[in-house]
């Protein structure tokens, strides 16, 4: 196996979305198409209810799939298909917007006092942009965890590790989504398909995310010119985007463990036309979507 190098490091940035939810945007619109087939990753993590209870009231989506993963707290979902549900700690919610859906996601007062979760946007290929919408909840108990010989613990949300498959297997782009904990003083190597886009988002601790350990070998986005201490170790709330060449990633820890989300998938290589909650292939398709929304014909 050949080890992948780091292509770029991105620092997540604070932003406010929905009706006033404070979150960190790990990547999004300005990074297209570097993360193809993934469009966005938001990290909402706060212990202040005023920063999350306003939620994301009724709004439309078309042309994408959304995957929400909750570590702490509760989120209620409702949509124009009549689906309703609540996901809590360790649960996953997966929704295909397809041809058009109107939904809301409303965080509730967290039992622990902390709300912490993530939402990914995955693109749909042109041939399936207008597929029928669908929705599914996956409970924490149904997400398997694999512990490797070196003590690395992996929750398999989507994809397969050590012959164990994750329960979220119907996402169109067939991504790999893993929640990985690497103990201190450990080397972890994970194989992946050549050419697939791959990135890690660090939740806690820090580690070395390739064997080169040269902080000047890649671009660091969002750190600012005054950040003169360029460390080759990668820490919390940063995205590690890997180069496409290579058949494995390698993560090494020293005196503390690291926990991160690892996501990979095959690029679509298609044009992206994106405005707000709608992602299509052309500007004309965006115009049609918003005309339909205004005239009440958005949901098919």
- The answer to the question of residue 248 being in a domain is yes
pLDDT at 232: 78
Mean pLDDT of 115-136: 97
Q: CA separation (Å) from 73 to 18, 104, 269?
A: 18, 17, 36
- The answer to the question of residue 109 being in a domain is yes
Which pair of tokens denotes residue 71?
Answer: 């570590």
Q: What is the percent of the chain where pLDDT is above 70?
A: 94
pLDDT at 170: 86
- The answer to the question of residue 299 being in a domain is no
Q: In CATH, what number is assigned to the domain containing residue 53?
A: 2.60.120.10
pLDDT at 1: 86
Contact 215, 230 (CB under 8 A): yes
Q: Which segment of 20-24, 87-91, 169-173 scores lowest on mean pLDDT?
A: 169-173
Distance between CA atoms of 138 and 102, rounded to whole angstroms? Answer: 21
Q: Which phi and psi angles does 283 have, rounded to 5°?
A: -65, -35
- The answer to the question of residue 1 being in a domain is no
Mean pLDDT of 100-129: 97
The number of folded domains in the chain is 1
Please tell me the pTM assigned to this model: 0.94
- The answer to the question of residue 258 being in a domain is yes
State the residue range of the domain holding 126. 6-294
Instruction: Work out the mean pLDDT of the chain and round it to a whole number.
Output: 94
Q: Which segment of 76-80, 229-233, 249-253 scores lowest on mean pLDDT?
A: 229-233
HSE toward the beta carbon, residue 266, CA cutoff 13 A: 9
Reported as a single tens digit per residue, the pLDDT across 234-278 is 999 999 999 999 999 999 999 999 999 999 999 999 999 999 999
pLDDT at 233: 87
Q: What is the percent of the chain where pLDDT is above 90?
A: 90
Mean pLDDT of 82-104: 96
- The answer to the question of residue 300 being in a domain is no
- The answer to the question of residue 237 being in a domain is yes
Mean pLDDT of 204-215: 85
What secondary structure does DSSP assign to 25-94, as a single string? EEE-GGGTTTTTTEEEEEEEEES-GGGTTT-EEEEEEBSEEEEEEEEESEEEEEETTS-EEEE-TT-EEE
Which strands form 115-123's sheet, in the order they lie side by side?
13-17, 21-27, 38-46, 115-123, 64-72, 92-96, 134-138
- The answer to the question of residue 224 being in a domain is yes
Reported as a single tens digit per residue, the pLDDT across 13-70 is 999 999 999 999 999 998 999 999 999 999 999 999 999 999 999 999 999 999 999 9
Long-range pairs, 291-295, Cβ under 8 A, ≥24:
292/100, 293/60, 293/100
Reported as a single tens digit per residue, the pLDDT across 112-125 is 999 999 999 999 99
Sign of CA dihedral 174, 13, 105, 293: negative
Mean pLDDT of 183-212: 95
pLDDT at 214: 67
Identify the three-state secondary structure at position 117. Answer: strand
pLDDT at 225: 43
């Amino acid at each position: 196996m050949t080890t992948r190098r780091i292509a770029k490091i991105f620092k997540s940035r604070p932003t406010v979305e929905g009706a006033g939810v404070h979150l960190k945007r790990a990547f999004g619109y300005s990074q297209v198409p570097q993360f193809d087939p993934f469009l966005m990753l938001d990290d909402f993590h706060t212990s202040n209810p005023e920063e999350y209870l306003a939620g994301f009231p009724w709004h439309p989506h078309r042309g994408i799939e959304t995957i929400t993963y909750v570590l702490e707290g509760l989120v209620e979902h409702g949509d124009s298909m009549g689906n309703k549900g609540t996901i809590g700690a360790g649960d996953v919610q997966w929704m295909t917007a397809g041809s058009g859906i109107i939904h809301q996601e409303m965080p509730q007062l967290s039992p622990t006092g902390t709300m912490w979760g993530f939402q990914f946007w995955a693109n749909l290929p042109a041939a399936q942009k207008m597929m029928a919408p669908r929705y599914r909840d996956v409970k924490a108990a149904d997400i398997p965890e694999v512990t490797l010989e070196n003590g690395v613990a992996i929750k398999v949300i989507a994809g397969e590790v050590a012959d164990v498959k994750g329960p979220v297997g119907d996402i169109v782009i067939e991504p790999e989504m893993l929640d990985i904990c690497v103990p201190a003083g450990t080397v972890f190597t994970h194989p992946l398909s050549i050419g697939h886009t791959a990135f890690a988002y660090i939740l806690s601790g820090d580690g070395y995310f390739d064997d080169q350990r040269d902080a000047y070998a890649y671009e660091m986005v969002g750190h600012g010119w005054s950040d003169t201490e360029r460390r080759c170790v990668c820490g919390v709330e940063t995205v590690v985007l890997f180069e496409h060449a290579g058949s494995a990633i390698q993560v090494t820890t020293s005196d503390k463990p690291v926990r991160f989300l690892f996501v990979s998938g095959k690029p679509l290589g298609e044009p992206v036309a994106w405005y707000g909650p709608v992602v299509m292939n052309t500007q004309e398709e965006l115009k049609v979507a918003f005309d339909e929304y205004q005239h009440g014909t958005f949901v098919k």
